[in-house]
Amino acid sequence: MKRVLVFLALLFTASLARGEDQLVVGLTEDVIHITSSFTGAEFVVYGTIEAPDAFKGASERDIVIVVRGPNKIEKVRKRDRVAGIWVNADEVVFVGVPSFYFVASTAPLDRITAPAVLKRKGIGLDNLTWDGPDRKDVGDFRKAMIRNRTASHLYVEDIGAIEMNGPALFQTRIRMPANVPVGAYQVEAYLFRNGQEISAYSAPLVIDKLGIERTLYDFAHAYAPFYGIAAILMGILIGLSASFIFRERE
């Protein structure tokens, strides 16, 4: 283990000697707990650019930070009016859809690097890709899903939101809505110079339920049929109780 650490230290020192900038990144929170009073969360991604001369070429650097939630299977339905009634007339199933997506940058994405690079790394809402059916109108369903998730604050593109404190220090705030899904997230940071990626960083982030919410969540997923029956019985019981109370008042 010591040999590995020494090797990494020498490699890092050598990269600095060659003048290669390196990202050093941290998170104020790497585990977020959801409780009954959860109304959303906020954490900060911060860091510095390690370079032999932080001022040299500072204007040529750009930073992009991406937060991706766990991938899921999503259905997008299209509603049409039939005989005066709105019904679900069509649907498309997408596979590998990020349940949460946030991107922040120091400048507009198309000014930071080439469109092919953004597409390959999935940086920006226009460059997200997932598996779906081969049909002509699939793009319309894709846009509808992105539009709905943006409206619910699960997809955010915050251009210019990364604050630079001097030539090397940076930070940005990531806000999670109350409906943020649980699971394993990935936080990514990219350093570009003159359109070329010169350093990257990745770290895990976990969002999990705590207390009674954790117990109910585990029960609902492990015993879905029983949970559904229990929910129906609870609804019936509440309805009967309310009916009895109002009848007594009359």
Mind giving me the DSSP string for 95-164? EEEES-EEEEESS-HHHHS-HHHHHHHT-SGGG---B----TTHHHHHHHHHHHHHHTTSEEEEET-PEE
pLDDT above 60 for 14: no
Q: Give yes or no: residues 74 and 180 share one domain.
A: yes
Number of domains in the chain: 2
94, 147 contact by CB (below 8 A): no
**Domain with 244 in it:** 211-250
Q: Which residue has the tokens 């949970």?
A: 227
Q: Give yes or no: residues 86 and 154 share one domain.
A: yes
Query: 191-203: per-residue pLDDT in tens?
Result: 999 999 999 999 9
Determine the pLDDT at residue 124: 96
Strand, coil or helix: 166: coil
Q: Give yes or no: residues 223 and 145 share one domain.
A: no
Determine the pLDDT at residue 12: 45
Determine the pLDDT at residue 248: 54
Strand, coil or helix: 169: strand
Taking the C-alpha atoms of residue 232 and residue 238, their distance in angstroms, rounded to an integer, is: 10
DSSP state of 56: T
Determine the pLDDT at residue 11: 40
Determine the pLDDT at residue 145: 92
Residue 9 lies in a domain: no
Q: Give yes or no: residues 204 and 233 share one domain.
A: no
Q: Percent of the chain, pLDDT > 90?
A: 54
Q: Which residue has the tokens 């009967």?
A: 240
Q: Give yes or no: residues 224 and 116 share one domain.
A: no
Beta strands at 183-193 and 196-209: parallel, antiparallel or unpaired: antiparallel
Determine the pLDDT at residue 51: 84
